[in-house]
Amino acid sequence: MTATIISGKQVSEEIRKGITEEVAQLKGQGIVPGLAVVLVGEDPASQVYVRNKEKACHDLGFYSEVHRLSADTSEEELLALVDRLNRQMSINGILVQLPLPGHIDEKKVINAISVDKDVDGFHPVNVGNLVIGDDSLLPCTPAGVIELIKRTGLEISGKHAVVIGRSNIVGKPVSLLLQRENATVTMCHSRTANMQELAKQADILVVAIGRANFIDASYIKEGAVVIDVGMNRLDSGKLAGDVDFESAKEVSGAITPVPGGVGPMTITMLMQNTLLSAKRAHGLN
Ligand SMILES: Nc1nc(=O)c2c([nH]1)NC[C@@H]1CN(c3ccc(C(=O)N[C@@H](CCC(=O)O)C(=O)O)cc3)C=[N+]21
């Protein structure tokens, strides 16, 4: 079998078209969604992501601010900036790029972001609301995974989903969202004894472990949907997922590539969260 390639890039473009139309409409009412991105230090990978987010804002007609702070910025200075952005009316979403330098307490910074402007969905209140199934800003990558599966026309309800990885930003929340979509979910992690056996039972396999090309065809059931959340920069400079694409595409029914899979969806969900937050700030939605 040769798998269907799930194009996150294409699905992303469809969603962005809808966002652009909505933004044009809001402009008629004097509303412009605004996103602030805060980058501390000069990590090259982070620089690329931040530039991509800036470009998305520009393309979709959002207002954007990028705050580039030096690596030795103190925690107090960063908290003061977050506090200012919390109160700034033109800003509907605040994203502090992670990881932060070691001398800054990430939890403290995330907790300081206004729950309503937490477009990453990382604030404990948003996480709690996600767990109990209440309205919340959803974390972008997990929301992007669900949206990608649904918009490709693939069924989630009643399927067995296996998630490999249990991080707070991907594994845990994507498991909850899959469960919300009525999948039966198994979570695997580094201490899982029989991971290959479990993965092979998956109708939907979501991989977020951070090891390049770790999952090959031997982990995949014939016809399964494979979602690769991995984003590993190889020494060659090339980007690789957690799934060995060439091997996996021979057995899976549908599979996401890296790049061009989950990555673009993450940024699109960030924009959607910012739009939602802007509407809510103006009593819409
Ligand atoms: N507070 C915070 N929120 C984040 O959402 C966040 C973060 N910190 N820190 C870093 C990670 C990483 N991340 C990516 C998003 C999109 C692509 C993306 O668009 N990737 C393209 C390729 C880009 C390339 O070529 O490098 C693709 O997969 O097609 C990648 C990585 C968001 N992150």
What domain count does the chain have?
A: 2
HSE-up of 102 (CA within 13 Å, CB side)?
0
CATH number at residue 208: 3.40.50.720
pLDDT at 235: 93
**pTM surpassing 0.90?**
yes
Question: CA–CA separation, 205 vs 40, rounded Å?
Answer: 34
104 and 150 belong to one structural domain: no
Is 231 within a domain?
A: yes
Catalytic residue among 117, 118, 120, 159: 120
Last residue of a domain, one of 114, 148, 171: 114
Catalytic residue among 10, 17, 25, 97: 97
Q: Is 140 in the pocket of ligand 1 (CB under 6 A)?
A: yes
Q: What's the 193 CA to ligand 1 centre distance in angstroms? A: 30
Is 268 within a domain?
A: no
103 and 183 belong to one structural domain: no
pLDDT tens per residue, range 33-78: 999 999 999 888 888 889 999 999 999 999 999 999 999 999 999 9
> Structural domain of residue 151, as residue ranges?
140-263
Residue 27 annotated in active site: no
- Please identify every stretch of the chain with a pLDDT value under 50, giving residue numbers as ranges: none
Last residue of a domain, one of 80, 98, 114: 114
CATH number at residue 69: 3.40.50.10860
Closest CA relative to residue 206, chosen from 186, 222, 192, 232: 186
Q: What's the 263 CA to ligand 1 centre distance in angstroms? A: 6
Residue 120 annotated in active site: yes
257 and 151 belong to one structural domain: yes
- What is the complex's ipTM, to 2 decimals? 0.97
The encoded tokens of residue 276 equal 């939602």
Q: Is 258 in the pocket of ligand 1 (CB under 6 A)?
A: yes
148 and 100 belong to one structural domain: no
pLDDT at 180: 97
83 and 39 belong to one structural domain: yes
Question: CA–CA separation, 277 vs 100, rounded Å?
Answer: 25
pLDDT at 181: 98
Residue 10 annotated in active site: no
Is 133 within a domain?
A: no
257 and 205 belong to one structural domain: yes
SS3 71: coil
pLDDT tens per residue, range 144-172: 999 999 999 999 999 999 999 999 999 99
Is 60 within a domain?
A: yes
Is 258 within a domain?
A: yes
Is 222 within a domain?
A: yes
Is 132 within a domain?
A: no
161 and 103 belong to one structural domain: no
Would strands 239-240 and 232-233 be described as parallel, antiparallel, or unpaired?
antiparallel
Is 127 within a domain?
A: no
Ramachandran angles phi, psi of 162, nearest 5°: -115, 125
Q: What's the 7 CA to ligand 1 centre distance in angstroms? A: 16
